[in-house]
């Protein structure tokens, strides 16, 4: 039982970490500060004691992350803890390198991206990123940081990601940028949200489901759609060598395939986007996942 008298410990920039309330793993936990604000804290052994408990030593805390959206918090229970810890250091480096603010959700969206990229690589699934050259010209800082991240992934996990994966990681940084309302990109973001809503409606209609937007699977799907729209807006979609896998998935998941065909038709008819077979492959996977409660 936790004492009613909290151990109040001064933390970065006057923030006080008061109580550790939920274990993620032995080195990561959800905490409350003295204002009752929830945060994720990283520190050796912080998640080891029984929960909840009052924090008694500042020395355990290495870094904190505030303001992560509730729908993203669920990712902590599904992502590999070593990947999350690794990514926290990458996010720290990004915040110290990039000349703009980053969304607090980057910790978990980038962890998910890195975890999925490593899974693909281990299975021999390689994705060609046609935006690589454009990104290098437009976002040199993000590309350089992403390449360092790819090297660090190999050093930490002994998984050698393809060079093109740096483009995907760079996109995670770019999409995590926090814009002010006066910036022109704000309208583009609003347009993307409207298209996401339309695609989600198509899935619900075609698959006969009501999608819970608070789930981890929805968050992963929504992030993928945002990446897809970014690529389509550039006039280039993914088009690599996974034709056999694409054909196999279409046969294995006919309902999801029919749904994705409708999505591709909508994107072409309403927005002039041509969705490649490779892009449709990943949409089939995400439709299948977001409708997982139907046993697909």
Give the Cα separation of 197 and 133 in Å (integer). Answer: 30
Q: How confident is the model at residue 242 (pLDDT cuts 50, 70, 90)?
A: low
Q: Which among 269, 264, 275, 266 has a CA at the least distance from the CA of 239?
A: 275
Chain region(s) in the chain for CATH 1.10.1790.10: 83-175, 185-294
CATH 3.40.50.970 fits 9-66, yes or no: no
**pLDDT tens column, 219-232:** 778 878 887 887 78
CA distance 122 to 99: 34
pLDDT at 13 over 60: no
In the chain, where does the domain assigned CATH 2.30.24.10 lie? 9-66
Is it the case that residue 197 has pLDDT exceeding 50? yes
Q: Assess contact for 109 and 90: CB atoms under 8 A.
A: no
**Would you state the pLDDT for residue 7?**
31
185-294 — its CATH code?
1.10.1790.10
Dihedral sign of CA atoms 29, 35, 36, 39 in order: negative
Q: Are strands 63-66 and 53-54 parallel, antiparallel or unpaired?
A: unpaired
> What's the mean pLDDT in 264-281?
90
Greater pLDDT, 249 or 266: 266
- Eight-class DSSP state of 147: H
Tell me if the domain spanning 83-175 has CATH number 1.10.1790.10.
yes
Across residues 84-93, what is the average pLDDT? 92
pLDDT of residue 187: 53
């Amino acid at each position: 039982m936790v004492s009613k008298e909290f151990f109040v410990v001064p933390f970065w920039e006057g923030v006080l970490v008061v109580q550790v309330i939920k274990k993620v793993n032995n080195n990561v936990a959800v905490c409350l500060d003295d204002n009752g604000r929830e945060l994720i804290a990283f520190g050796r052994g912080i998640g080891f004691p029984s929960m909840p408990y009052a924090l008694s030593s500042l020395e355990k805390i290495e870094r904190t992350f505030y303001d992560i959206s509730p729908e993203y918090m669920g990712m902590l229970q599904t992502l590999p803890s070593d990947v999350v810890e690794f990514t926290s250091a990458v996010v720290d480096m990004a915040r110290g390198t990039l000349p703009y603010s980053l969304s607090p959700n980057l910790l978990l969206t980038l962890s998910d991206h890195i975890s999925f990229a490593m899974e693909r690589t281990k299975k021999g699934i390689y994705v060609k990123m046609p935006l690589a050259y454009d990104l290098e010209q437009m976002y040199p800082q993000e590309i350089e940081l992403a390449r360092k991240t790819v090297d660090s992934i190999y050093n930490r996990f002994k998984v050698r990601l393809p060079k093109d994966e740096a483009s995907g990681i760079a996109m995670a940084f770019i999409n995590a940028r926090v814009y002010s309302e006066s910036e022109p990109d704000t309208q583009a973001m609003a347009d993307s949200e409207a298209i996401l809503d339309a695609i989600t409606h198509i899935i619900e209609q075609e698959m006969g489901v009501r999608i819970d937007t608070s789930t981890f699977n929805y968050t992963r799907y929504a992030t993928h759609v945002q990446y897809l729209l970014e690529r389509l807006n550039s006039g280039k979609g993914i088009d690599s060598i996974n034709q056999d896998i694409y054909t196999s998935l279409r046969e294995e998941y006919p309902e999801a395939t029919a749904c994705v065909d409708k999505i591709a038709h909508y994107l072409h008819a309403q927005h002039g986007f041509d969705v490649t077979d490779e892009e449709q492959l990943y949409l089939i996977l995400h439709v299948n996942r977001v409708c997982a409660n139907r046993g697909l």
